Amino acid sequence: MALDFAGAKGSMRNVCVVGAAQTKFGELWDRSLRDLIVEAGIGAVKDAGIEKSAIQSLYVGNMSAGRFAGQEHLGALAADFLSLRVPATRCEAACASGSVAFRDAYYAVASGDIDAALVIGAEKMTDVHGSGALTTLAAAGDQEWEASIGLTFAGLYALIARKHMVDFGTTREQMAAVSVTNHKNGLKNKLAQFQMKITIEDVLNSAMIADPLRLFDCSPITDGAAAVVVASESAAKKLSTQPIYVLGTGQGSDSIALHDRASFTELLATKAAAKKAFEQAGIGRNKIDTTEVHDCFTINEIISLEDLGFVEKGKGGKFAEEGKIDLNGELPTNTCGGLKVCGHPVGATGVRQIVELARQLRGQCFNPINGAEIGLNLNIGGSGATAVVNIFGKEPRY
């Protein structure tokens, strides 16, 4: 349907997610980057029940299309192949690119400058050899002090994991429990890269990647795209789809190199982003019914739950081991499988998390959480230099 956007503008307004879609994630040899962008974008517009002419701005989250797929100027490319003659911007913040694009769209709508925006996160990572993908991903860290000496992100998170184990007694079994839970959550997810059940023993016996992290502790290299339509509350109320309100959003930064951090076992960017998002939402942690957190490696899910304030520092591993992140647990986490199972097309991940939360709060997801009213996503760039937290609800905050 066409929308009439006439109305007053000026003060910060309530913003809603009104459309959500994603492609299949995986090794998509027969799909190009533009194919994925178009599929996700058209899917989100269709899900919103609007015409493309209602979209007034386009934001594309992408980390490194130039190195992965040989394509730069991605905003223009997306606008071109979606036949959208609107301002189009590419946003880059390593693995947090998708959520940064979402925040840009949120503020454009909240400010009153526009009434509807399309956000697309996309990455095509498998068109290069594995070593090329690792080199590209390493560029999200400090090139001079980390990447140039061969320190991969698996290596960086392995250092973080080892320090967490030394300081708090976190065990390999506790990290493995994160992977087992995420695989269980992803069994029904037909869009995920993996659909298989695993055991603690499977994780502990998988190939060593960077001690103590093994293969099943690590998210994969993936192709995929996800998209959401963001609209003002007044525009959303004219649609037949259920709006999901943005209650709060926050972004934080820290040093890009791990060795410059005040602590190896906490991500200050996550804490800063969470503080801002919860203050804006005006709610406490106890109001969150479900979370999508950045589990690029199992240790990161553990630390994320700690830094978000859901569990005391050092006790995240036990929290996972005791089943408190399970679908029927205290805090259902990564209900469709997380990065570990869905796959991690880095520019798309943050938007995919938002798609899952929108579907979860609508009751349209693979693993619905009974009574879920409020959800949160955490999207991290690099080894923690960037973090974005968004909080969503079925009802507006004011």
The pLDDT of residue 12 is 85
Q: pLDDT confidence of 60, banded at 50, 70, 90?
A: very high
Question: What span, in angstroms and rounded, lies between the C-alpha atoms of 36 and 240?
Answer: 26
Percent above pLDDT 70 for the chain? 97
Q: Which residues of 289-306 are buried (b: 16+ CB within 10 A; e: fewer)?
A: bbbbbbbbbbbbbbbbbb
Q: pLDDT confidence of 4, banded at 50, 70, 90?
A: low
Q: Which residues of 49-60 are buried (b: 16+ CB within 10 A; e: fewer)?
A: bbeeebbbbbbb
SS (H, E, C) the chain: CCCCCCCCCCCCCCEEEEEEEECCCECCCCCCHHHHHHHHHHHHHHHHCCCHHHCCEEEEECCCHHHHHCCCCHHHHHHHHCCCCCCEEEECECECHHHHHHHHHHHHHHCCCCCEEEEEEEEECCCCCHHHHHHHHHCCCCCCCCHHHCCCHHHHHHHHHHHHHHHHCCCHHHHHHHHHHHHHHCCCCCCCCCCCCCCHHHHHHCCEEECCEEHHHECCCCEEEEEEEEEEHHHHCCCCCCCEEEEEEEEEECCCCHHHCCCCCCCHHHHHHHHHHHHHHCCCHHHCCEEECCCCEHHHHHHHHHHCCCCCCCCHHHHHHCCCCCCCCCCCECCCCHHHHHCCCCCCHHHHHHHHHHHHHHCCCCCCCCCCCEEEEEEEECCCCEEEEEEEECCCCC
Q: Considering the chain, what is the average pLDDT of its residues?
A: 95
Contact assessment for residue 333 and residue 301, using Cβ atoms and an 8 Å cutoff = yes
The pLDDT of residue 74 is 96
Query: Taking the model in full, what pTM does it have?
Result: 0.96
The pLDDT of residue 398 is 72
Q: pLDDT confidence of 2, banded at 50, 70, 90?
A: low
The pLDDT of residue 131 is 83
82 token code pair: 């979606």
Given a cut of 80, whether residue 283 has pLDDT beyond it is: yes
Provide the CA 311 distance to its chain's centre, in angstroms: 21
Question: What span, in angstroms and rounded, lies between the C-alpha atoms of 397 and 275?
Answer: 17
pLDDT tens-digit map of 196-205: 999 999 999 9
The pLDDT of residue 78 is 98
Q: Which residues of 71-104 are buried (b: 16+ CB within 10 A; e: fewer)?
A: eeebbebbbeebebebebbbbbbbbbbbbbbbbb
pLDDT tens-digit map of 28-48: 999 999 999 999 999 999 999
Average pLDDT of the segment spanning 240-260? 95
Q: Which residues are catalytic?
A: 95, 344
Average pLDDT of the segment spanning 121-135? 91
The pLDDT of residue 10 is 44
Select from 300, 319, 321, 340 the least CA-distant residue to 196: 340
Given a cut of 70, whether residue 7 has pLDDT beyond it is: no
Given a cut of 70, whether residue 5 has pLDDT beyond it is: no
The pLDDT of residue 240 is 84
The pLDDT of residue 208 is 98
Q: pLDDT confidence of 397, banded at 50, 70, 90?
A: confident
Contact assessment for residue 13 and residue 109, using Cβ atoms and an 8 Å cutoff = yes
Q: pLDDT confidence of 241, banded at 50, 70, 90?
A: confident
Q: pLDDT confidence of 1, banded at 50, 70, 90?
A: low
All domains in the chain, ordered by first residue: 15-129+221-236 (3.40.47.10)
pLDDT tens-digit map of 159-195: 999 999 999 999 999 999 999 999 999 999 999 999 9
